[in-house]
């Protein structure tokens, strides 16, 4: 029963993170936070799977390493966008 509750919580976290990411937001920071929330739900999912299979947890350290690099890259893009355009609105950011 406890395992079922944990699966439900992780799946709801993943669905809410995707709903926030898909909905139209104006700010880059909200989108980056939703991506980090999705990564956190995948991390919890991997913890549940690895504990169930009694697998070694070294892969989680590699996953955390890549998620931290992804977060740092997102923040650097956010800072450079704020420095060049003055805000983090997608409307003021031109892809050209």
Taking the model in full, what pTM does it have?
A: 0.83
In a domain, 39, yes or no: yes
Structure tokens at 11: 């799946």
Closest CA to 44 of 9, 79, 88: 9
Which structural domain, as residue segments, surrounds residue 67? 2-85
In a domain, 59, yes or no: yes
In a domain, 41, yes or no: yes
Per-residue pLDDT of the chain (96 residues; tens, 9 = 90+): 677 888 888 999 999 999 998 987 788 888 889 999 999 999 999 998 888 888 888 889 999 999 999 999 999 988 988 888 887 777 766 654
In a domain, 40, yes or no: yes
In a domain, 96, yes or no: no
In this structure, the number of other CB atoms found within 10 A of the CB of residue 88 comes to: 19
Per-residue burial over 32-51, b = 16 or more CB atoms within 10 Å of its CB, e = otherwise: bbbbebbbebbeebbeeeee
In a domain, 93, yes or no: no
How many structural domains does the chain have? Answer: 1
Angle, helices 58-85/28-53, rounded to nearest 10 degrees: 180
């Amino acid at each position: 029963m406890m395992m079922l509750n944990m699966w439900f919580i992780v799946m709801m976290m993943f669905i809410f993170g995707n709903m926030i990411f898909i909905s139209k937001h104006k700010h880059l920071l909200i989108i980056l936070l939703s991506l980090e929330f999705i990564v956190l739900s995948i991390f919890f999912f991997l913890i549940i799977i690895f504990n169930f299979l009694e697998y070694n947890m070294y892969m989680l350290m590699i996953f955390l390493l890549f998620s931290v690099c992804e977060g740092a890259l997102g923040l650097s893009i956010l800072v450079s966008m704020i420095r060049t355009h003055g805000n983090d609105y997608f409307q003021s950011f031109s892809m050209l």
